[in-house]
A and B are shown apart, each in its own frame.
Chain A
Amino acid sequence: MPNMTESEVFDKFAQIVAKSLRIDASQIAPDTHLTDLGAESLDLIEITMETETQFHIFLPDKSVLETAVEVFGPGILEKDGYLTEDGKRLLLRRMPEADAQAFAGDVAVKDLQHYFLKVGTWVRMIQGLAQYTPAECAACGGPMVPSMGFRMKCGKCGQEITLRSGEELNREWVREYYDKEYRPQAEAPVSATVVQ
């Protein structure tokens, strides 16, 4: 469903959360944290699975920061539990909607986990991933329907596609950011010492 608006995604996601946590959907707002609604770790897994099924997407199993740390190597984006300036730059670039104020001063990794558990953060992530799920078959234009696993199948000609994984997409984004934005700036003579 690539063409859903943010508010449509929100409404549908709020229904999933409400059903899983057995609460009223009216309690859920974009700035609500899933844990504040009483979600435990396995509830988050249930919400993840249900979201994947209903939106036909493949959610990442770790935050974009974790993936970025794996790509960049240790100590560059995060050090001793706090974001470095490079880490803040990457996240702000990735999440332009995030309040820049939230990245002022010391930002601990635990505070980010809190941010990643915001309903609004999920909604934007779902909307972003849904862009990669085609509504129509590329070959014949027929309607795509869910198939086994993370696959979709054309209802008309039967052609199957595999959904893009959220983690893979995160990794691609991070690699591109690293090559095109981080490295040129890190290798510039003036800032080279700052990076080290």
Chain B
Amino acid sequence: MNAFGNLVHDSFATQARVPDGRPMGPWPESVCCRLDAFPCEPNVLANLILSPGERAHWISMRAVEKRRHEWLLGRCAAKQAVGSLLERDLDLHLPPNEIEIVPDPYGRPLVEYCGAGPWPAAASQAALSIAHSQGTAVALAVLDPGARVGIDLESLTHRRQDFEAIAFSPDERRRLAALPVDLRQEWALRMWCAKEAVGKALGRGLSAGLLAFHITRAEVASGIMEVGLRDGALDQFPQWQAKSLIVYTARESNFVFSATIYQQGAVRMRPSRQEILDYLLQKMGELTEDWDYPDPVRPESRLFTELGFESLDAVVLCTAIQEHYQTPMPFAELLAEIGQQQRDLSIKELADFVNTHLGGPAETGSATRRVQ
């Protein structure tokens, strides 16, 4: 059984095992799904798995049958991958037509929920990538708010004229030329796939130009490649200056696959201001639980005059906050400053302070400005 009930047999949808059963990369937390054929008649499948919004798109698609069918196959693989992921990691069992895949303004697929039931916020944090070519579709998904994923595939049997002159830089062509002749076509495709996977993971595709993505290393034994950014791609993603993305590539019969997963910035996503405030209120509730304090703790509650905090309590709180967010913050200066000014600190102000030091946008006019 899988998220599709008996509709998609597991021989079609191979969970977490890409191309030929070997894992694509070192990511046990990810789920990959591959489909080589429709499990049933395409229009029947569309009615079963697509959300209302997706179905409207399916009906309005003016494309040739190949394109429409591959789009549907891609959606099917994506929903299978996301469904399995939610089932495995969150014990969430959702019918595929309640999982909606919506492109962001740049075209990167986002996972949304369009059913009526409760939907844990964690489920929206699934990162997803879809690829299709020549009647085969693959999807890679991972449940991690900081992760970005990219997957691609190309068919070796899809005859094309030599595309290397346009797709690769002189350096990359030299790299290819150094390979044994019988490997060249496959490795040209692997290098192309690697660029595509990186473009998808970053979220803008290859819009910055084909040569803005540069293969800096290609290991024939393992299929591992490194891709660096330059020119326009580096303008878009300056954090990749002097760094490379690792891409895993593999060949299975007539297809070449590539996949990459990376953590954007810190592993953790920066919490929102509201989340920080909620955490502080909850923490204060715990700390003052046994205290003889009549009113519930509110954002406006002041630590010292209202809640009866003493300096030692403040130190305990500040230590807990820093441990919770794994980030040191200049609490000593904050406390010294409010001591000097002989004023109190509300929980809301404390949340603003934490927010600022976690890199969040500062609230104009709030106390945190002065404290900095």
Contacts and interface: CB of A to CB of B under 8 A. Distances in A.
A168 B103 CA distance: 31
B367 interface: no
A110 B200 CA distance: 13
Nearest to B189: A42
Contacts of B211: 61
Contact of B196 (A38, A41, A62): A41
Nearest to A37: B64
Contacts of B236: 74
A81 B108 CA distance: 11
Interface string A93-119: 000000000000000111001000000
B104 A81 contact: yes
B133 interface: yes
Given A36-B67, A46-B163, A82 B105 contact: yes
Contacts of A70: 231-232, 235
A27 B64 CA distance: 9
A109 B107 contact: yes
A23 interface: yes
Contacts, number: 83
Contact of A46 (B63, B160, B207): B160
A81 B209 CA distance: 17
Contacts of B103: 110
A80 interface: yes
B105 A110 contact: yes
Given A108-B105, A109-B106, A42 B161 contact: no
B192 A42 contact: yes
Interface of A: 23, 27, 33, 35-38, 40-43, 45-46, 48-50, 61-63, 66, 69-70, 74, 80-82, 108-110, 113, 167
13 contacts: A38-B66, A40-B154, A50-B161, A62-B232, A66-B232, A69-B235, A70-B232, A74-B235, A74-B236, A82-B105, A109-B105, A110-B103, A110-B105
A167 B232 CA distance: 12
B266 interface: no
A126 to B, nearest CB: 16
Contact of A36 (B63, B104, B192, B210): B63
Contact of B64 (A36, A110, A167): A36
Interface string B197-238: 000000011111111000000000000000000011001100
A8 B152 CA distance: 36
A48 B210 CA distance: 13
Contact of B105 (A23, A27, A80): A80
Contacts of B63: 33, 35-38
Contact of B208 (A62, A108, A110): A62
B158 interface: yes
A92 to B, nearest CB: 19
A82 B105 CA distance: 7
A61 B163 contact: no
B165 interface: yes
A38 B67 contact: yes
A43 B154 CA distance: 11
A110 B66 contact: no
Given A23-B64, A37-B67, A45-B167, A66 B208 contact: yes
Nearest to B165: A49
A66 B163 CA distance: 22
Contacts of B133: 40
Contacts of B154: 40, 42
B166 interface: yes
Contacts of B324: none
